[in-house]
Structure formats: structure tokens, C-alpha cells
């Protein structure tokens, strides 16, 4: 009897332990079925915004939007320059995206999964666009493979397109969770509209990928199909962009470039490229005929150059570089012009930038430099205030990352038409892209509740005047090379804030063809792809740095001659 009681007690104890086991969760090894996919989802989106910002900055520098110090291309960036970007891609995005896709699929959160696949695919292609061949198949396998080998860039692009196709399918599936609502940091709209927007993003990114690779792959049929279906980002409401807030701390939700330029000390941190300032303010029309986006793109801390001295602007007393071109014909005005150098508009406008590759010392001009405006960085609109930057100016940092906009789609349409891929008039798409971009920019202040003086808002006549000059230049172009120049110049101006596609566009087309030279006459090979990051080549036994200077190695879709680039 005693033995029976003992056995019975043991069985009851074991049963209780089993019940208790069901209630215990090891925090270091959570059950995937109970993992919080929302946290993964949010982390992927935030990491993606940071990744885009870093990659965009490099592209903006190489395309003369923001200063590249140089002085030559080989020395402009080192392997450590990209360590943060690389780590963010592989640990901030890929690692969390892979978990999100696996767990979200099990939990039937299909829309979350589809969005995550889109962000992952964009990141995959951008790594290829920047570095060429990179680890993918063997990456993020943990301790089972700490030395992943690189995949061919062409293979990664193909896998990214497959991922976009999967995302389109996922977005159409129904599940108990439905649309993520406010957890979607890009659209955060109703279920039907939100999934439709993301579907358009996926298809537009496919078009973007096919256009990037059109020189090396026979993908005309795929491009034609997407343009014919036209389920793309075509309106302002559909734009793919990450939106920032205006909170200063805990956490800082402002656009990173706003944070770096609207400082408590009243000194702007960035130099805008002299070439880009000239392109927007002077090349296609000056003064009252300047680009209507001018005062939205840039904020002048001074409205004239009365404070120009050898100490504040050393280039103002330098001899113009002998290799800079002079007497070029301006297709928009019929006049001649010299390659811009140092100060824009004969030193009277207050547009204070820096020349491409100028690595001379930094003068005390932080309160004089032209800085980023309200669009897309959430800064101040230029109404000739002539006051230095400070905290809480303009939109207080409530800017956007313009990842893809409807105007960009039209410029791809124009490029495809001029390339003979589709039977359409490139000029129609060119005009549409220009007008959409201008409308996006001049209506942006209202979206962040910043009033604009009536005198600052460009008139319809001014907008029409710019469009007319550009279309006339297109009509007068002697050949397709010159026509590409006109189209890509407008695409370039519209891409302010998106250096990734500006860099891709330049390597794909070699346009605009009149980019300012580096300040030194022999800067070496233009950066066709970046050096591999040090965290990759130093820690991965299967990684080797690129041969030669490294930067002259083109990515797989760039088969252009080196002579095309400056």
C-alpha cells in the first residue's frame, strides 16, 4: 500500500510538472509561434530607412549634389566608410527580415510578409548597385557559416525579382491579421489602399531593376509588359517614401540631414555641390526664370556674398582650374557658359556651396553655407530671411526619404521610349515627370503644416516657362545622346534626396554629360563600384578586396566605357 501511494504521488508530480512546463517560456529561446512579429516588422522598416539614407548620401556625393571631398576618387572613401551601412543591411535588415518572413508566414500575417520581402529585395539590389558581388545565399546562417562566399550580382538581382513576385502574391492573400495599419511606416492607410500601394511598389521596383539591367540583359518584353499594365507608382498619393517627424530627442525622429544642418550652434554641416546649385538656379533659367523648386530645395543663410573673403571662401581668390571647360553652348538658353566654379551667379546670390573634390581646409563658414531646404529634408523654405540656421526651423526635420516617386516612373518611361523599348513619345513622359516633380515639391510644405508666402510660390507661368525651355531643348537636340542629356538632367534634378538612383542613372547612361570636373585635373577612375567594407574583408576568410584601386570595377549591369564618366 505504501509503495502504491509513492508511485501515485510520483505520477501526480510528473503530471503537474508537465502542466508547469507548458507555462514556461525560455526568454533566450522563445517559441517562434509566439514571437512578436510587429517588433521584427518595425525593426526592418527602421533599419531600411537608415540604410537608404546612408547609401543615398554616397550617391549624392558622386553625382555632385553634396560635396565629395576627394581630392581623387580612390581616396574619397575607404573600406571603413561603409562598415555601418554593411552591418545595417545584414543584421538590421536581412536578419530581422528573414525571421519576420518565416514567423509571419506561420502566423498568416501575409501583408507584413509581403512588405518585408519588398524592403529586403530593394536592399539586395542596392548592395549589388554599390559593391557588385556580395554574400547572399550563404549570408545570415549564424555559426553554421561565418565566412559566407559572395554571390554574383546578376544572381542576386534575379533572386530579388523573384522575391518581389512572391511579395505581390503575399499581398493578395487573406489572413487573420490583415493590413498592418499604423505599423506600416510608409503608407499607414486603409487595408485596400495600403496593399494596393505596396503592390505598385513591388511592380515599380521590378521596372526599375529591368531598366537598370537593360544594357546587359534582353528584358525589353518584361519592361513592355509592366508599362502596358501600368500598375505602377503613378500619382503623388502612391509615392514610396519614409516620413520623419520633428521630435528632437527620446527618440530623435527628424530627418538625419536636417539634424546635421539645423544645429543648436547655428552652423550648417553639409556643403551642397556647386554644380547642383548652378543646375537648379542658373543653367536652365536664372533669376525669375530659375527652377521653381529652387527655394524649396535650398535655404540660403545669406542672400548675397558680401561676406566672401579669403578666410571664409578660399576658392574666391583661387585661379579657375585650367581643365574646367569654357564657352559651352547652353541648350536651354542658346547662350554660352563656363563650367561653374566656387560661387554661383557671379557671387551675388548667396548660393554658397563647394566644388567637387575640394579637400582644402574647412573655413569658418558654417553660418554662411547654403543648406538643405524644406524639401525633402524638412528644413526651412527660403523666403530671403538671410538668417543662420538653428533648431526648430521650417518643418523642424519632418522630411522624407524619396525612395520612389511617380515622377521617377515617368522618367523611366521617357528613357524606355527613347531607347526604343516601347513605342511612345519620350517628350510626353518627360513633361509629365517634370510637372509631377514640381507639384510634389511646391505642395510639400502644406503636408507638414508650414505656411508659404504667396510671393514665394512659383507662378504657373514660371513653371510653364521652365517646361517650355526643356522641351525646346529636346526638340533641338541633334541626336539621341543629346536627347538623353535633356531627359536625364530633369530626372537628376527631380532626384534631389535620392542619391541611389542618381548614381545608378549616371552609370547607366553617362548623363548628365556636363557634370563639373573634380577640382584636380587627374582624379583617377570614377567610382564604378565601392570598395568592400573592412568588416567584410577583414573578418571573412572568403572575402578579398577588389583588384587595383578597386573603384574602377563596374557592377554587372554597367558595360559603359570608362571615358563616359567624370
Q: Give the residue-averaged pLDDT of 221-237.
A: 98
* pLDDT over 60 at 344, yes or no: yes
Whether omega for the bond prior to residue 376 falls within 30 degrees of 0, making it cis, is: yes
CB 105 within 8 A of CB 41: no
Q: What percent of the chain has pLDDT over 90?
A: 89
Give me 527's grid cell.
567610382
In order of their start, the domains of the chain are 34-217+525-566 (1.25.40.390), 233-516 (1.20.120.840)
pLDDT digits (tens, 9 = 90+) for 462-474: 999 999 999 999 9
What whole-number distance in Å separates Cα of residue 287 and Cα of residue 268?
A: 25
pLDDT of residue 31: 57
What's the whole-model pTM score? 0.94
Q: Kindly tell me if the per-residue pLDDT of 76 is higher than 80.
A: yes
Do the Cβ atoms of 285 and 469 come closer than 8 Å?
yes
Angle ∠(293,384,247) on CA atoms, nearest 5: 75
pLDDT, residue 12, reads 44
Residue 317's φ and ψ, nearest 5 degrees, are: -115, 10
- For residue range 381-436, list pLDDT tens digits in order: 999 999 999 999 999 999 999 999 999 999 999 999 999 999 999 999 999 999 99
**pLDDT tens digits, one per residue of 510-548:** 999 999 999 999 999 999 999 999 999 999 999 999 998
User: What crossing angle do the helices spanning 460-476 and 426-442 adopt, rounded to 10°?
Assistant: 150
Instruction: Give 347's pLDDT tier (boundaries 50, 70, 90).
Output: low
How far apart are alpha carbons 69 and 188 in whole angstroms?
A: 39
Q: How far apart are CA 51 and CA 66, in angstroms?
A: 18
Rounded distance, CA 74 to CA 406, Å?
35
What grid cell was written down for 338? 563656363
- The residue among 304, 277, 301 whose CA lies nearest residue 291 is 277
Instruction: Give the DSSP per-residue string, 45-111.
Output: HHHHHHHHHHHHHHHHHHTTSB----SSHHHH--GGGGHHHHHIIIIIIIIHHHHHHHHHHHTT-HH
* Cell numbers found for residue 231: 500598375
Q: Where are the alpha helices (DSSP H) in 255-359?
A: 256-261, 274-278, 294-297
H helices of 356-512, in order, are 406-418, 426-442, 444-447, 460-476, 480-494, 499-509
pLDDT tens, residue by residue, 546-564: 998 989 999 999 999 999 9
Euclidean distance between CA atoms 277 and 342, whole angstroms? 11
Amino acid at each position: 500500500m505504501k509503495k502504491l501511494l509513492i508511485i501515485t504521488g510520483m505520477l501526480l508530480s510528473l503530471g503537474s510538472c508537465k502542466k508547469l512546463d507548458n507555462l514556461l517560456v525560455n526568454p533566450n529561446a522563445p517559441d517562434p509561434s509566439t514571437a512578436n512579429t510587429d517588433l521584427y516588422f518595425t525593426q526592418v522598416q527602421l533599419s531600411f530607412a537608415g540604410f537608404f539614407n546612408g547609401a543615398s548620401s554616397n550617391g549624392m556625393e558622386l553625382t555632385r549634389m553634396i560635396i565629395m571631398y576627394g581630392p581623387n576618387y580612390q581616396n574619397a572613401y575607404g573600406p571603413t566608410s561603409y562598415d555601418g551601412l554593411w552591418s545595417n543591411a545584414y543584421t538590421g535588415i536581412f536578419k530581422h527580415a528573414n525571421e519576420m518572413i518565416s514567423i509571419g508566414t506561420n502566423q498568416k500575417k501575409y501583408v507584413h510578409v509581403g512588405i518585408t520581402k519588398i524592403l529586403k529585395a530593394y536592399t539586395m539590389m542596392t548592395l549589388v548597385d554599390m559593391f557588385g558581388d556580395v554574400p547572399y545565399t550563404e549570408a545570415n546562417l549564424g555559426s553554421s557559416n561565418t565566412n559566407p562566399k559572395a554571390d554574383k550580382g546578376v544572381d542576386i538581382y534575379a533572386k530579388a525579382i523573384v522575391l518581389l513576385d512572391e511579395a505581390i502574391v503575399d499581398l493578395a492573400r487573406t489572413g487573420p491579421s490583415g493590413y498592418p495599419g499604423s505599423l506600416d511606416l510608409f503608407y499607414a492607410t486603409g487595408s485596400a489602399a495600403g496593399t494596393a500601394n505596396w503592390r505598385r511598389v513591388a511592380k515599380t521596383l521590378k521596372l526599375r531593376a529591368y531598366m537598370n539591367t537593360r544594357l546587359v540583359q534582353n528584358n525589353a518584353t518584361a519592361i513592355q509588359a509592366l508599362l502596358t499594365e501600368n500598375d505602377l507608382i503613378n500619382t503623388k498619393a502612391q509615392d514610396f517614401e519614409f516620413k520623419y517627424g520633428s521630435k528632437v530627442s527620446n527618440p530623435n525622429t527628424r530627418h538625419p540631414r536636417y539634424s546635421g544642418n539645423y544645429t543648436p550652434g547655428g552652423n550648417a554641416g553639409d556643403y551642397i555641390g556647386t554644380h547642383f546649385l548652378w543646375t537648379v538656379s542658373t543653367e536652365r533659367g536664372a533669376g525669375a526664370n530659375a527652377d521653381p523648386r529652387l527655394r524649396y530645395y535650398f535655404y540660403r543663410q545669406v542672400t548675397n556674398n558680401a561676406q566672401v573673403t579669403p578666410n571664409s571662401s578660399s576658392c574666391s581668390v583661387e585661379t579657375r582650374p585650367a581643365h574646367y571647360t569654357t564657352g559651352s553652348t547652353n541648350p536651354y538658353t542658346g547662350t554660352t557658359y563656363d563650367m561653374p566654379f566656387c560661387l554661383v551667379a557671379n557671387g551675388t546670390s548667396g548660393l554658397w556651396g563647394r566644388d567637387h573634390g575640394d579637400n582644402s581646409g574647412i573655413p569658418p563658414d558654417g553660418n554662411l553655407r547654403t543648406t538643405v531646404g524644406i524639401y525633402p529634408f524638412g528644413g526651412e523654405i527660403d523666403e530671403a530671411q538671410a538668417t543662420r540656421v538653428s533648431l526648430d526651423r521650417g518643418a523642424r526635420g519632418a522630411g522624407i526619404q524619396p525612395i520612389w516617386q511617380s515622377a521617377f516612373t515617368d522618367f523611366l518611361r521617357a528613357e524606355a521610349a527613347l531607347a526604343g523599348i516601347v513605342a511612345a513619345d519620350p517628350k510626353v513622359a518627360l513633361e509629365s515627370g517634370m510637372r509631377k516633380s514640381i507639384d510634389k515639391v511646391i505642395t510639400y510644405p502644406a503636408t507638414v503644416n508650414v505656411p508659404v508666402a504667396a510671393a514665394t510660390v512659383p507662378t504657373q507661368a514660371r513653371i510653364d516657362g521652365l517646361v517650355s525651355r526643356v522641351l525646346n531643348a529636346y526638340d533641338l537636340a541633334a541626336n539621341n545622346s543629346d536627347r538623353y542629356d535633356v531627359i536625364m538632367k530633369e530626372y537628376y534634378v527631380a532626384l534631389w534626396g535620392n542619391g541611389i538612383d542618381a548614381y545608378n542613372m549616371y552609370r547607366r547612361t553617362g548623363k548628365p554629360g556636363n557634370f563639373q570636373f573634380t577640382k584636380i585635373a587627374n582624379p583617377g577612375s570614377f567610382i564604378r563600384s565601392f570598395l568592400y567594407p573592412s568588416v567584410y574583408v577583414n573578418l571573412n576568410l572568403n572575402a578579398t578586396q577588389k583588384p587595383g584601386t578597386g573603384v574602377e570595377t563596374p557592377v554587372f549591369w554597367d558595360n559603359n566605357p570608362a571615358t563616359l564618366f567624370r
